[in-house]
Amino acid sequence: MKLFIDTADLADIETIAGWGVLQGVTTNPTLLGKVEGEADDIYRRVCELVDGPVSAEVVADARGDMIEEGKRLAAIHENIVVKLPMSAEGLSATSTLAAEGIRVNMTLVFTPPQALLAAASGAAFVSPFVGRFDDIGHDGLECLRTIVEALEPSMYDTEVITASVRGPLHVTEAARMGAHIATIPPKVFYQMLQHPLTAAGIETFTADAEARKARAAK
């Protein structure tokens, strides 16, 4: 499973890209609203930091406006993927953009039938929101499993992006289910990295290596 980062924070993207684990980035208007700067400049910088798909979301809600905004975003950089919401207008705009070779990430997907519609419209990526589905008392991971199983044998090349990830368990379970991608907030990347026994082990090994060096120097 490929790991994307779900943020528009350039410092976090640069740090975690430095681990050598990132294969893409997703953003949304809420994440963009948390950082300073002009949106197009942020997208350009993100594309410099990570060599992979970078989702940039349209805010228009009418088909024609979505297509126009999508084309404008796609022209920023070859790695930009246009993020469109699951709706009749979004599906229609996706089919037009896909026919022109522009990749679309269909977002705000909460059911397998929505995912099938996204794939049929030509979306390159579909983003089920696992955490937000959990929030309203449903089983986000079970929904993800059904979507992965439903799309796997289909004629579509659509990749499933596990979105709205709330913790390391969501990532591990998504990988076990065969999701193509998980887009992970920075906080969860740090949770994935750390374990108290790892930290304690490094401390012990360092102390033992230094003790050996000290004995050899006597």
Q: Which residues bind ligand G3P (CB under 6 A)?
A: 6, 26, 28, 129, 131-132, 163-164, 183
Q: Which residues pair with 125 in a beta bridge?
A: 105, 159
Cβ nearer to ligand G3P, comparing 100 with 135: 135
Q: Give the closest residue to 159 by CA, choosing from 50, 53, 46.
A: 53
Rounded Cα–Cα distance for residues 183 and 24 (Å): 8
User: How close are the terminal C-alpha atoms of the chain, in Å?
Assistant: 51
Cβ 200 to ligand G3P shortest distance, Å = 31
Look up residue 17 and give its two tokens: 């890209």
Cross-strand pairs, 105:
83, 125
Annotated catalytic residue within 2, 34, 71, 83: 83
- Asked about 83 being catalytic, the answer comes back as yes
Q: CB 183 → ligand G3P: shortest distance, Å?
A: 6
Q: Would you report the helix, strand and coil content of the chain in percent, each value rounded to 5?
A: 55, 15, 30
Residue type (1 letter), 176: R
Q: How far is the CB of 180 from ligand G3P (least distance, A)?
A: 15
CB of 34: closest distance to ligand G3P in angstroms? 11
CB closest to ligand G3P, residue no: 164
* Calpha distance 194→126 (Å, rounded): 30
> Position 161: which residue type?
I
Which sequence positions are flagged as catalytic?
Answer: 83
